[in-house]
Amino acid sequence: MSELKNDRYLRALLRQPVDKTPIWVMRQAGRYLPEYREVRAKAGDFMTLCTTPELACEVTLQPLRRFDFDASIIFSDILTIPDAMGLGLHFVSGEGPKFSRRIESARDIDNLAVPDMEDSLGYVMDAIRMTRREIDGKVPLIGFSGSPWTLACYMVEGGASKDFALIKGMMFDAPDEMHKLLSVLAKSVTSYLNAQIQAGAQAIMLFDTWGGSLSGDNYRAFSLAYMQQIIAGLKREHEGRIVPVTLFTKGGGQWLSSMADVGADALGLDWTTDIGLARYQVGQQVALQGNMDPCVLYAQPERIKQEVKNILAAYGHGSGHVFNLGHGIHPTINPEHVQALVEAVHEYSAPYHQ
């Protein structure tokens, strides 16, 4: 593997000195780029794009050709594990992910098994290996997974949900079954992420998209506890480097203290959390990633630059900040506005590291 030329992102996650605040954006390989849409059309459908390593590699690299990002994230989907468990993942236009078979009973849970990572999920590892070769050490490559709770939400609901009635009904009415489901998912995610690290992922991110739908006690019992299990089971060093782990719970800003205690190197923040207060609260334990509202990118470059200045000032001097959006970039964003964002972060952050 090529020597890493830009390790700013990895250093910031470990709260080591950097010359500038690193930046990448969630869903940076995606629909806001015309070249992505061309490859997506060539693939025919989203799952073919995800499961064809050459195509996944290509769209992973696309944003790096346009923008001076400090990290890349492998192109995949958070729902690869339940698909490998046989639930039949597919995507419906305008509705998002759907499962042909959802989890409805204790028997359904008993029938689930940890997938073979190089067999049913080998296409992800192949994409990582291919991307590491092609990226040639320019920036680190991030591997990722959905959290057990988030995966379970889709598996029980059969797709996206507004009220989470089915999974919360199971959680409250049959907590033992819920824990059994989350346990097999935690084992699966641990194996999946370790396989990604072995294949060449240089940092790991856990996306807990729906943890914020829970109350505090239930978040700790049904989401955070299983992410702690995963973090404890991860291979934390590879190729002579520490492999940092970032935990991101959308809507989880009120639980930062609990989140900082589970062993992650960094916490992701959405835009509803003040990054300055978050640093005051947990910044001695973990790095912070975030947290610009993605909709700021609809504004003109001057307004984008001002928001960058505001967030950098709120975090303050020193390392431990990875600039990012508070959630995924919207598909109708102008790529020129992303360029303005990246340039502003690098320009205005340098004085904070002197």
User: Tens-digit pLDDT profile for the chain (354 aa)?
Assistant: 678 999 999 999 999 999 999 999 999 999 999 999 999 999 999 999 999 999 999 999 999 999 999 999 999 999 999 999 999 988 877 778 899 999 999 999 999 999 999 899 999 999 999 999 999 999 999 999 999 999 999 999 998 888 999 999 999 999 999 999 999 999 999 999 999 999 999 999 999 999 999 999 999 999 999 999 999 999 999 999 999 999 999 999 999 999 999 999 999 999 999 999 999 999 999 999 999 999 999 999 999 999 999 999 999 999 999 999 999 999 999 999 999 999 999 999 999 999
Name which of 144, 130, 133, 117 is nearest 53 in CA terms: 130
Distances (CA, A) of 213 to 23, 132, 162, 282: 28, 36, 10, 22
Q: Which two tokens stand for residue 67?
A: 């923008």
Among 31, 236, 241, 303, the active-site one is 31
327 is in an annotated binding site: yes
Name which of 243, 208, 204 is nearest 224 in CA terms: 208
Stretch (H or E) spanning 98: strand 96-99
Name which of 269, 316, 314 is nearest 293 in CA terms: 269
Whole-number Å distance between alpha carbons of 17 and 6: 13
CATH for 8-353? 3.20.20.210
Whole-number Å distance between alpha carbons of 112 and 20: 45
154 is in an annotated binding site: yes
Judge whether 266 and 285 are in contact, CB under 8 Å: no
330 is in an annotated binding site: no
Positive/negative CA dihedral, 63, 69, 74, 77 = negative
154 catalytic per annotation: yes
Q: Which two tokens stand for residue 111?
A: 């029938």
40 catalytic per annotation: yes
Judge whether 70 and 142 are in contact, CB under 8 Å: no
How much is the pLDDT for 1? 62
Among 8, 27, 132, 279, the active-site one is 27
Among 7, 70, 77, 126, the active-site one is 77
77 is in an annotated binding site: yes
77 catalytic per annotation: yes
209 is in an annotated binding site: yes
30 is in an annotated binding site: yes
On whether the pTM is more than 0.85, the answer is: yes
Among 11, 40, 132, 279, the active-site one is 40
In the chain, where the domains are located: 8-353
**What percent of the chain is helix, strand and coil (3-state, nearest 5)?**
50, 15, 35
Positive/negative CA dihedral, 161, 288, 20, 56 = negative
Whole-number Å distance between alpha carbons of 98 and 83: 10
129 catalytic per annotation: no
107 catalytic per annotation: no
Name which of 20, 122, 50 is nearest 344 in CA terms: 20
196 is in an annotated binding site: no
Among 9, 32, 36, 154, the active-site one is 154
280 is in an annotated binding site: no
Whole-number Å distance between alpha carbons of 331 and 27: 9
